[in-house]
Amino acid sequence: MYVAVKGGEAAILATHDLVAEARRGDESVPELGVAQIREQMGLACGRVMNEGSLYDPDLAALALKQAQGDAIEAAFLMRAYRTTLPRFGSSEPLDTAKMAIRRRVSATYKDLPGGQVLGPTYDYTHRLFDFALMDEAAPAESPARPAAQPLDTSMPRVPDILGAEGLMEEEAPPAGDPRPFDLTREPVTFPADRDVRLQAMARGDEGFMLGLGYSVQRGYGNSHPFVGEVRVGEVAVEYVPEELGFAVDLGDITLTECQMVNQFAGSKEVPPQFTRGYGLSFGHSERKAMSMSLVDRALKAREFGEATTYPAQQDEFVLYHSDNVEAAGFVEHLKLPHYVDFQGELELIRRIRKEREQRLAKQQEALPEAAE
C-alpha cells in the first residue's frame, strides 16, 4: 500500500539485525575465528584480496566472515576500506625472478633450470570427498615431508629464456618509464594502455576472466597459447622512503604469476616471434592468473594489427564488465524501487493500447457490410 515505504528507517535497522543473526547461524556451533579462515580458507582469501585490490590476508578473512563467505560482498568490503587508506607512496617494482618458489611448472619445456616444482596443487587429486575432514579433530601432524634436495636457488622465468634467444616479444616500459596509471584514482579513457588493462584484470572477477579466457581458447579470438610458466611463491616488497633514499624491505607477499607464450606474429619490419600474455595475482590463484594472461594477449590485438572482433579483444568490453563490485551493484540495483518510471511505462502502454482499440473499432465501423 501507499505507506509500505513508511517506516523505512526502522525496517533498514531490522535488516542489520537479521543479517547479523543469519551470519552467525546456529549458536550451538562454535564461532569461526578470523585466523581459521585465513589459514584454512586461503584460496578464498586470495580471491578476495585480488578482487578487493588489497593485500591483507587478515582483512580478507574478516571480510569473508562478515560476508558469510560471499566473495563479491567480501571484495566490496575490502575496496570500501582500501579507498580510505592514506597512501605513503609506491613500492619498487617486484622482481618475480627472485620469487621464493613454492610451485613452478612449465608446459613448454620438459625440463629446465630449476626444474618442474609441483608444489601444493589440486591438479592431480581425484575429486573424491575426504570424509575424514568431516571429523573436526584434524590429524595432528602435516603429512608433508621435506624434499630430499633443496630447490635450486635460481629459477629463470621461461620468457626470459626465450628472450635470450630473441624469440620472445620484447616488452620495454613506455618512454620515460612513467608511473603506472591507477584506475582507482583517475578516470579511464579508451583505447586503454596496457598498464590500465592489467590493473583492471588483476581486480576483475575471476569467473568473468575465466569465461573470457576460455572464449579465446574456443575460437572467439585468435589464440594458440602455451603455458610458458606458472609460478607461485613469496616475493619481497621494497619501498624507498623519501627521507631515507634507500629501499626498505616491507615484507613478503604471496603471488601467482603466469606467462603465456602465444604463437608468433611478425611483419615486414619485425621477424616472427612469440608473443606474451601476462597474469599476476595475489595469493595462490592460478586460475585467475592464467585467465588474465589469455585475455591480456587477446587485448594486444590492436597493437599487433590484428582484428578486434571478439569480446576478449575489446578493451572497453573487458574493462567495463570485469569489475564485479560495479557489476553486482548495478545488477542488484534493479531491486530498488523503480515505480515512478514503471508508472510512466504503464501510462504509455495503456494509452497506446486504447488508441489502437479505438482505431480498430473505427475501421470495423467503416467496413461496408457488403464486403462480407
Partner 1 sequence: MTVHQSISDETRPAYNYAYLDEQTKRMIRRALLKAVAIPGYQVPFGSREMPLARGWGTGGIQVTAAIMGPDDTLKVIDQGADDTTNAVSIRRFFERTADARTTEATDEATIIQTRHRIPEAPLKAGQIMVYQVPQPEPLRKLEPHEAETRKMHAWAEYGLMQVKLYENIARFGEVTTTYDYPVMVNGRYVMAPSPIPKFDNPKMQMSPALQLFGAGREKRIYAVPPHTSVRSLDFDDHPFRIQSWEQPCALCGAADSYLDEVVIDDQGGRMFVCSDSHHCETRRADGHRGAMLADASALHLVEDEAKP
Residues forming contacts to partner 1 in the complex (CB under 8 A) are 1-3, 5-9, 11-12, 34, 54-56, 58-59, 62, 76, 79-80, 82-85, 88, 184-191, 237, 250-251, 253, 316, 320, 325-326, 328-333, 336-341, 343-348, 352, 355
CB neighbour list of residue 115: distance below 8 Å, 6 or more residues apart: 151, 152
Quickly count: other Cβ atoms within 10 Å of residue 210's Cβ: 17
All cell numbers assigned to 182: 591507477
Secondary structure letter of residue 230 according to DSSP:
E
Output 178 or 329, the one with its CB closest to partner 1: 329
User: 276: helix, coil or strand?
Assistant: strand
Q: Least distance (Å) from partner 1 to the CB of residue 257? A: 17
Q: Least distance (Å) from partner 1 to the CB of residue 260? A: 27
Residues linked to residue 253 through DSSP beta bridges, in sequence order: 235
Q: Answer yes or no: are the C-beta atoms of 223 and 298 closer than 8 Å.
A: yes
Q: Least distance (Å) from partner 1 to the CB of residue 333? A: 3
Output 91 or 121, the one with its CB closest to partner 1: 91
How far is residue 329's CA from residue 44's CA, in Å, rounded to a whole number?
21
How far is residue 312's CA from residue 314's CA, in Å, rounded to a whole number?
6
Of the candidates 215, 239, 365, the residue with the CA atom closest to the CA atom of residue 294: 215
Q: Least distance (Å) from partner 1 to the CB of residue 120? A: 22
Q: Least distance (Å) from partner 1 to the CB of residue 341? A: 4
Output 226 or 320, the one with its CB closest to partner 1: 320
User: 184: helix, coil or strand?
Assistant: coil
Output 5 or 270, the one with its CB closest to partner 1: 5
Output 7 or 120, the one with its CB closest to partner 1: 7
Output 85 or 366, the one with its CB closest to partner 1: 85
How far is residue 359's CA from residue 302's CA, in Å, rounded to a whole number?
54
HSE-CB of 368 using CA atoms within 13 angstroms = 2
Q: Least distance (Å) from partner 1 to the CB of residue 171? A: 25
